Amino acid sequence: MASGKRILWDGLFTVAILTVVFLWNLVLLELFDTKTMTPMIFVLGVFLVSWRTQGYLWGIVASLISVLAVNFAFTYPYWAFDLISPECISSAVVMLIVSTMMGALTTRLKRQEHLKAEAEKERMRGDLLRAVSHDLRTPLTSICGACSAIIDNYDQIPRERQLDLLGDIRADSQWLARMVENLLSVTRVDSDRVRLSKQSTVLEELIDAVLVKFRKHYPSQTVHVVLPDAFVSIPMDPVLIGQVLMNLLENAVFHAHGMEHLWLKVTLDGGKAVFTVEDDGCGIPRDRLPELFSGLLKSDAPADPSRRNMGIGLSVCQTIVKAHGARLEALDRVGGGAVFRFSLSVEDISYVEQ
Amino acid sequence: MSNNKYKILVVEDDRSIAGMIQTVLETGGYQVLVAGRCEQGVLMLRSHMPDLVVLDLGLPDMDGSEFIRIARRDRTVPIIVLSARMEEADKIAALDLGANDYITKPFSTGELLARIRASLRIVHGHQQTSGGTFTLGGLTIEHDRRQVRVDGEPVHLTRTEFNILAFLSRHPGKVMTYAAIVTAIWGGLDDGSVKKLQVNMANIRRKLGCAPGDDRYIVNELGVGYRMSDPQN
């Protein structure tokens, strides 16, 4: 949050809390003629302000105002200041101490939380890096191998076999290119200042772009598409969300063994668009669920092409979806198979004239 | 149509990519000039008068958009921009500056050649004129009678829908940005106009019988604009 906005918010919050506290006490005093609770309620107000605002400043401001308010409205002489009675001075001291300590405590707590989040991020980055290095090595090895084979034995290898090898090189490098796109999008999302280039995106166009790309790479795989009839517009980073859908569909192709049908569905639920990628393949083994989105590959996973992508793809998806304020979930499909699901808020477009 | 007379300037700093493009274009029958830097590119643009420029946006000595600006000051040579996938904003900026088209890295050589052919055709007027008939697969657009047919069956479009489709069909194979289409159809750009265009576009696609994932007629360039598929590719 911008610092100006932050200061404004803190100030408004402090004013609001103090107003509520003051009115509350006034009601107690006028209707029930009781003021034993007055200091305690003000301390609560000071506590809330110190807790929710940044630094010490607002807490101290709140406690000073509280002391003056108690002095002014709730102690004898009423509706006048009396700054020398021992009662007044001790309540001022108590409130100042409370607010300073709260400020110190919350600042320390916030710093600790920040450090913990940083460490977690660092750990995830490390995991991702390990998974990436593992995943990139395989296609690179085969590209290198195929190239050397052709260069070294140009005259011996029959033409068709050379074309096969070149085809493999192309497929592997296309896969690498997509993987690099994935990694780039993670750095784009993961950087400290999350700068998603959100723009209102037409659902149909997003799905169209994803399907065109998917069919280019997997022409033989049919995708059953279910979309709402209405014109739906969603604020999102279309490139990144498109990538999530592409990764999920691609994952199904690679990992849902025995799959016969693959669905890409979007349904409207209240103000949300629920995206679902569903397959009727082998489903997700229970023991893989916890680490599914972590970017970790099982070390015993053989380095065959069908095992590629799983870890990185899904952790990339989760990172992107989270950056949109949502969560990607993996579920069992009723009747066998896997379901991946996330939902995004739909934009109200009723203002657009036809 | 023979390609032999066309001279193409490739401005790209990466030597292996430049070499690859040169090989592909020369195999395709074009004459190729390569510049590794923007400045050199500008000089060659002026001295060699190429028919088309393939420009990498990320050059070491000067921003690629600067090159477009300079090139546009002098002449109307078509420019095709090479860009990475993530940089929609750059793509739109380049198109708005006057680049004719963009192609995303990594690209297939077939795609590159197709875009070059389309751009050259538009500039050199081997294009159906606005009064004529546009045919693309099962789709026919009769501009003067304002009639659209799919597989022989007439399609009923609103005035706006027809205007959009007709506008796209006058630039087949070339991506038109949202801003360019909106300006051409409504005369100006305001807050809701892109959304209005998208709503109209959804109706057009439905009426032409295009399910999502069907790019026979119109290719939707997410976040950038729309492209009419090129009948001659």
Task: State yes or no: pLDDT of A354 exceeds 50.
Answer: no
- Within-domain flag for A81: yes
Q: What is the pLDDT of residue B201?
A: 93
Angstrom distance (rounded) from CA B208 to CA B151: 10
Task: Give residue A312's pLDDT band: very low, low, confident or very high (50, 70, 90).
Answer: low
pLDDT at A127 over 60: yes
Q: Which residues of A touch B88 (CB under 8 A)?
A: 197, 239
Quote the pLDDT of residue A268: 93
Contact B45, B22 (CB under 8 A): no
> Which chain A residues are Cβ-neighbours of B160 within 8 angstroms?
none
Return d(Cα A175, Cα A41) in angstroms, integer.
Answer: 63
- Asked if residue A286 belongs to a domain, the reply is yes
Strand order in the sheet with B101-104: B31-35, B7-11, B52-56, B79-83, B101-104
**Domain-ending residue, one of A75, A98, A116:** A116
* A214 to chain B: closest CA residue: B213
Q: What secondary structure, in 3-state letters, does chain A show?
A: CCHHHHHHHHHHHHHHHHHHHHHHHHHHHHHHCCCCCHHHHHHHHHHHHHHHCCCCHHHHHHHHHHHHHHHHHHCCCCCCCCCCCHHHHHHHHHHHHHHHHHHHHHHHHHHHHHHHHHHHHHHHHHHHHHHHHHHHHHHHHHHHHHHHHHHHCCCCCCHHHHHHHHHHHHHHHHHHHHHHHHHHHHHHHHCCCCCCCCEEEEHHHHHHHHHHHHHHHCCCCCCEEECCCCCCEEEECHHHHHHHHHHHHHHHHHHCCCCCCEEEEEEEECCEEEEEEEECCCCCCHHHHHHCCCCCCCCCCCCCHHHCCHHHHHHHHHHHHHHCCCCCEEEECCCCCEEEEEEEECCCCCCCCC
Check residue A295 and give its pLDDT: 57
CB contact under 8 A, A211 and B212: yes
* pLDDT given at position A79: 78
Residues in A closer than 8 angstroms to B202, CB to CB, are: 202, 204-205, 231
- Is A164 a member of any domain? no
pLDDT at res. A16: 93
| Chain B positions with Cβ closer than 8 Å to A | 85-86, 88-89, 106, 192, 195-196, 198-199, 201-202, 205, 211-215, 219-220, 222-223
Chain A residues with CB under 8 Å of B157 CB are: none
In chain B, which residues have their Cβ closer than 8 Å to the Cβ of A233?
A: 195, 198
User: B89 contacts in A (CB within 8 Å)?
Assistant: 197
**A260, part of any domain:** yes
- pLDDT (0 to 100) of residue B44: 92
pLDDT value for B124 = 66
Same domain, A203 and A308: yes
Cβ distance B219 to A212 less than 8 Å, yes or no, reads: yes
Which of A65, A98, A116 delimits the end of a domain? A116
Mean pLDDT of chain A: 82
Which chain A residue lies closest to B226 (C-alpha atoms)?
A: A205
C-beta atoms of A209 and B192 within 8 A: no
Q: Which residue of A has its CA nearest to B85?
A: A181
The three state secondary structure string of B58-110 is CCCCCCHHHHHHHHHHHCCCCEEEEECCCCHHHHHHHHHHCCCEEEECCCCHH
Q: Which of A181, A201, A185 is nearest to A275 (CA)?
A: A201
Check CB contact of A223 with chain B, cutoff 8 Å. Answer: yes
Question: Mean pLDDT for each consecutive 10-residue tract of chain B (233 residues)?
Answer: 73 89 90 91 91 87 84 84 75 86 85 88 61 84 90 92 92 88 87 88 92 88 88 74
User: Residue A195: its pLDDT value, please?
Assistant: 63
Mean pLDDT of the A282-304 span: 63
- Over 70: is that where the pLDDT of A352 sits? no
Determine which of B86, B191, B194, B206 to mutate to test the interface with A (most A C-beta atoms within 10 Å). B86
Taking CB atoms and an 8 Å limit, are A223 and B213 in contact across chains?
yes
Provide the residue range defining the domain that includes A250.
197-345
Residue A257 lies in a domain: yes
Identify whether residues A317 and A216 lie together within a single domain: yes
How far apart CA B109 and CA B112 sit, in angstroms, is 5
- Tell me, what's the pLDDT at A349? 66
**Is A197's CB within 8 Å of B89's CB?**
yes
- Of residues A19 and B91, more confidence is placed in A19
Please name which of B13, B62, B44 lies closest in space to residue B53, comparing C-alpha atoms: B44
- At residue A303, the pLDDT reads 44
Question: What mean pLDDT comes out for the span A212-240?
Answer: 90
- Closest-CA distance, A317 to chain B, in angstroms, reads 16
Question: A22-28: long-range contacts (C-beta < 8 A, 24 or more apart)?
Answer: A22/A69, A22/A73, A25/A73, A25/A74, A26/A73
Question: A68, A84, A116 — which closes off a domain?
Answer: A116
With CB atoms and an 8 Å threshold, state whether A215 touches B222. no
Q: Does A289 touch chain B (CB under 8 A)?
A: no
- C-alpha distance from B178 to closest chain A C-alpha (Å): 13
pTM: 0.70
Least confident of A50-59, A227-236, B98-107: A50-59
Average pLDDT over residues A3-19: 88
Q: Which domains does chain B have, with CATH numbers?
A: 7-123 (3.40.50.2300), 133-228 (1.10.10.10)
If contacts are CB pairs under 8 Å, which of residues 163-202 in chain A contact chain B? 173-174, 177, 181, 184-185, 188, 197, 199-202
Q: How confident is the model at residue A311 (pLDDT cuts 50, 70, 90)?
A: low
Residues of B with Cβ-Cβ distance to A187 under 8 angstroms: none
At A300 the pLDDT is: 40
Q: Do A19 and A110 share a domain, yes or no? A: yes
CB-defined contacts A:B, below 8 A? 71
- Residue A217, in any domain of the structure: yes
For residue B208, the model assigns a pLDDT of: 92
pLDDT in tens, A246-272: 989 988 888 888 888 999 999 999 889
pLDDT of residue A156: 87
Query: Which residue is closest to A241 within chain B, CA to CA?
Result: B222
* Residues A77 and A202 occupy one common structural domain: no
Of B9, B218, B177, the closest CA to residue B95 belongs to B177
Any B CB within 8 A of A212 CB: yes
Instruction: For residue A83, tell me if it sits in a domain.
Output: yes
Q: Which residues of B touch A214 (CB under 8 A)?
A: 213
Residues of A whose CB is below 8 A from B215: 208, 212
Q: What is the pLDDT of residue A234?
A: 93
| C-beta atoms of B213 and A353 within 8 A | no
pLDDT band at A296; cut points 50, 70, 90: low
The domain tally of chain A equals 2
Q: How far is B220 from chain A (nearest CA, A)?
A: 7
Q: Which CATH number is A255's domain given?
A: 3.30.565.10
Question: Which residue in chain A is spatially nearest to B88 when comparing CA positions?
Answer: A239
Mean pLDDT, to the nearest integer, of A291-296? 66
A185 assigned to some structural domain: no
Chain segment A61-108, per-residue pLDDT in tens: 888 888 888 878 877 777 777 777 777 778 778 777 877 787 788 778
